[in-house]
Amino acid sequence: MSTSTLLSCQWLSRDSPFRTSVLPPLSPAVVLSPSSLPGDAIYPRDENGKFIYHETNLCATWEAMEACKDAGLAKSIGVSNFNRRQLEMILNKPGLKHKPVSNQVECHPYFTQPKLLEFCRQHDIVIVGYSPLGTSRDETWVNVSSPPLLEDPVLNAIGKKYSKTAAQVALRFNIQRGVVVIPKSFNPQRIRENFQIFDFSLTEKEMKEIEALNKNVRYVELLMWRDHPEYPFNDEY
């Protein structure tokens, strides 16, 4: 699986009750959230503005994903925002044909996901780190009580040593620990910058310094779905 194919993920209308980001044929397909929503509206709501949820059966959805792979519609299949319990539900499903290859979750120096990363490593599931630069800090969906990642003094000081930016250090940190990164930018210069992370490496001491920045606070809490029975972020990881 390559990062670039995941970078192109987009919404399509769905027959499945789950949010599924479907990519060009033979690319990875990802169950985008364990919290299922019915119909074709991206965020279906009732007349009072409350989100309408679909009855959730993660194992049945996974079987539909397996069928997509078997039909040649997707090269690999993965999940997003799944916690350990939800991953175990899939991994322990009787008759499992294909394991998730990846779990796309928030991951960056302020939210390093050590326990989920270790669990996924043990099960050969790649962590794909979303919001690896700390998001766009759009207050409509981002928890801005956590400070801006790219202003962090440690990231900036390490960047200075290598003539790199804090963004490049944050991305390098993740890829050096085996986490795929999917930074987003609308700016051509910054898109180029975000690829220029393969010509330097961080020392073990610097990796530890960056790991120590973990605040265990999410920028992306998905609080609008917190009353969904499969809301993933109530568990420790």
Give the separation between CA 26 and CA 7, rounded to whole angstroms: 15
Q: Which is nearer to ligand NAP, 17 or 104 (by Cβ)?
A: 104
Partnered with residue 30 across adjacent β-strands are 21, 78
- Is beta strand 29-31 parallel, antiparallel or unpaired with respect to 77-80? parallel
Q: Which is nearer to ligand NAP, 198 or 204 (by Cβ)?
A: 198
- Least Å distance, CB 224 to ligand NAP, is 12
Contact footprint for ligand NAP (CB under 6 A) = 32, 80-81, 104, 130-136, 150, 165, 167, 182-187, 190, 193-194, 220
Residue with structure tokens 């949820």? 53
Residue with structure tokens 């779905």? 225
* First and final C-alpha spacing in the chain: 24
- Least Å distance, CB 70 to ligand NAP, is 24
- Least Å distance, CB 37 to ligand NAP, is 13
Q: Where are the beta strands (DSSP E) in 107-191?
A: 126-130, 180-181
Q: Which is nearer to ligand NAP, 13 or 92 (by Cβ)?
A: 13
- Least Å distance, CB 115 to ligand NAP, is 19
Q: Which is nearer to ligand NAP, 97 or 141 (by Cβ)?
A: 141
